[in-house]
């Protein structure tokens, strides 16, 4: 590899567009759902996916004898989108993303990391000094990789929320769309400049629309959820709880569970509501431009919540289902407290 000033100019022209767009997405995230450290990790994982695919693509081409043109259209899009999607599947299944906004940012970051490594390889091998070619390579390929993976993340997260499951089937439609976008780009049906312009105009616009929709749903979830959790917590802490509907329900559990388990159920519900209110309050403060102070006791409280969850078991969690939501947003909000 010949390291010279011209090479570094190519790298800058090839990488800066997608990194600038990724930074723009993070600025649009008014709730600051993702920290910069997490984005850097996701970029790195996208880069590792690119290296993995480079070896895998070379192996497949050598062992199958598939013509490069056809493999680029129908083979590599499947392999590369699958590899990029794996980390996002983990994030969704582990409830580490709560809304389409943070799913989209992580998705674009994976694609951006992938494109960065891929563009470094291609740009250092190009002998054409045409600056326009470098810019088109940076914008076109990078926006395609980032946009396709972001579309997978958006569709996968939406399907998982609607069906309230992370079964592998919910990820297939998003993967199919990402592969279709990638394959269409590799068909070169349009001149490179027109293809780049099409990607620049369509995918970012779609991302902005998704951001606006997700921001509105986040705000609605915060406002409704905050009031509901607060009212429920006040009811639990009030003296006449035993005469309320929730009190009567919890008392009825004594017929099914031992007294000590019922006490653990009540303690778990109280702690969960307190943490839920605190998490929603943090998000509202971030939206208003404030940085909430870290709570030194939060990890201890989360550990206590985990202990109580283990103590009451799956049957106990089912008993609390009317009051403790199992939606991904509510599970995710507990994750952000420990960050």
- Domain ranges (residues) in the chain: 5-214, 238-337
Query: Tell me, what's the pLDDT at 1?
Result: 46
Kindly report, residue by residue over 210-242, the tens digit of the pLDDT: 767 766 666 666 665 666 777 777 777 775 655
- In the block, tokens 């800058």 appear at 12
CA distances from 244 to 240, 250, 329 (A): 7, 10, 28
Q: How far apart are CA 64 and CA 136, in angstroms?
A: 31
Joined together, the tokens standing for residue 200 give: 């620049």
Range of 78-82, 142-146, 296-300, 308-312 with top mean pLDDT: 78-82
Closest CA to 91 of 47, 56, 46: 46
Which of the pair, 307 or 280, is modelled with greater confidence?
Answer: 307
Closest CA to 103 of 15, 213, 225: 213
Kindly report, residue by residue over 44-64, the tens digit of the pLDDT: 999 999 999 999 999 999 999
pLDDT band at residue 129 using 50, 70 and 90 as cut-offs: low
Contact call for residues 213 and 104 (beta carbons, < 8 A): no
What phi and psi, each to the nearest 5 degrees, are found at residue 96?
Answer: -95, 0
pLDDT band at residue 187 using 50, 70 and 90 as cut-offs: confident
Mean pLDDT, to the nearest integer, of 31-48? 85
Joined together, the tokens standing for residue 159 give: 């399907």
Which of the pair, 290 or 215, is modelled with greater confidence?
Answer: 290
Lowest mean pLDDT segment, chosen from 59-73, 183-197, 218-232: 218-232
Query: Tell me, what's the pLDDT at 32?
Result: 65
Q: How far is CA 34 from the centre of its chain?
A: 9
What phi and psi, each to the nearest 5 degrees, are found at residue 321?
Answer: -55, -35
Query: Tell me, what's the pLDDT at 220?
Result: 66
What phi and psi, each to the nearest 5 degrees, are found at residue 189?
Answer: -70, -25
Sign of CA dihedral 292, 294, 300, 302: positive
Which of the pair, 315 or 26, is modelled with greater confidence?
Answer: 315
The DSSP H or E segment spanning 300 is: helix 298-319
Residues of the chain above pLDDT 70, percent = 75
Lowest mean pLDDT segment, chosen from 43-47, 98-102, 192-196, 273-277: 192-196
Number of H helices, E strands in the chain: 13, 0
Mean pLDDT, to the nearest integer, of 288-297? 75
Residues of the chain above pLDDT 90, percent = 23
- In the block, tokens 């009451």 appear at 312
Closest CA to 21 of 219, 212, 201, 216: 201
pLDDT band at residue 331 using 50, 70 and 90 as cut-offs: low
Range of 7-11, 140-144, 218-222 with top mean pLDDT: 140-144
Mean pLDDT, to the nearest integer, of 237-256? 70
Query: Tell me, what's the pLDDT at 122?
Result: 73
Helix axes 192-237, 142-163, angle to 10 degrees: 30
CB neighbour burial string for 203-225, b if at least 16 within 10 angstroms, e if fewer: bbeebeebbeebbeebeebbeeb
Mean pLDDT, to the nearest integer, of 248-276? 82
Q: Quote the mean pLDDT of the chain.
A: 80
Lowest mean pLDDT segment, chosen from 5-9, 106-110, 141-145, 171-175: 5-9
Lowest mean pLDDT segment, chosen from 89-103, 134-148, 322-336: 322-336
pLDDT(15) > 70: no
Contact call for residues 195 and 140 (beta carbons, < 8 A): yes
Kindly report, residue by residue over 159-178, the tens digit of the pLDDT: 888 887 899 999 999 999 99
Q: How far apart are CA 31 and CA 17, in angstroms?
A: 24
pLDDT(80) > 90: yes
pLDDT band at residue 9 using 50, 70 and 90 as cut-offs: low
């Amino acid at each position: 590899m010949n390291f010279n000033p011209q090479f570094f100019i190519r790298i800058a022209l090839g990488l800066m567009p997608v990194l600038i767009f990724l930074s723009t997405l993070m600025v649009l995230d008014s709730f600051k759902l993702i920290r910069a450290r997490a984005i850097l990790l996701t970029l790195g994982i996208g880069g590792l996916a690119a290296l993995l695919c480079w070896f895998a693509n070379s192996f497949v081409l050598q062992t199958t004898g598939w013509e490069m043109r056809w493999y680029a259209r129908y083979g590599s899009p499947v392999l590369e989108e699958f590899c990029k999607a794996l980390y996002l599947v983990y994030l969704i299944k582990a409830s580490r993303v709560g809304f389409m906004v943070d799913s989209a940012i992580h998705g674009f970051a994976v694609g951006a990391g992938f494109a960065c490594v891929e563009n470094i390889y291609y740009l250092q091998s190009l002998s054409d000094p045409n600056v326009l070619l470098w810019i088109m390579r940076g914008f076109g390929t990078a926006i395609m990789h980032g946009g396709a993976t972001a579309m997978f993340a958006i569709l996968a997260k939406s399907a998982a929320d609607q069906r309230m499951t992370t079964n592998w089937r919910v990820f297939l439609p998003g993967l199919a769309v990402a592969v279709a976008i990638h394959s269409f780009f590799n068909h070169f049906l349009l001149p490179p400049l027109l293809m780049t312009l099409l990607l620049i105009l369509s995918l970012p616009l779609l991302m902005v629309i998704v951001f606006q929709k997700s921001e509105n749903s986040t705000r609605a979830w915060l406002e409704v959820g905050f009031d509901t959790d607060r009212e429920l917590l006040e009811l639990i802490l009030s003296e006449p709880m035993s005469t309320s509907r929730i009190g009567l329900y919890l008392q009825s559990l004594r017929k099914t569970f031992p007294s000590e388990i019922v006490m653990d159920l009540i303690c778990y519900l109280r702690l969960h509501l307190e943490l839920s209110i605190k998490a929603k309050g943090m998000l509202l403060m971030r939206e208003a431009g404030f940085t909430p102070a870290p709570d030194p006791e939060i990890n201890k409280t989360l550990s206590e919540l985990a202990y109580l969850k283990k103590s009451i078991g799956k049957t106990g969690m089912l008993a609390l289902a009317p009051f403790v939501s199992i939606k991904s947003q509510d599970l995710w909000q507990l994750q952000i407290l420990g960050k």
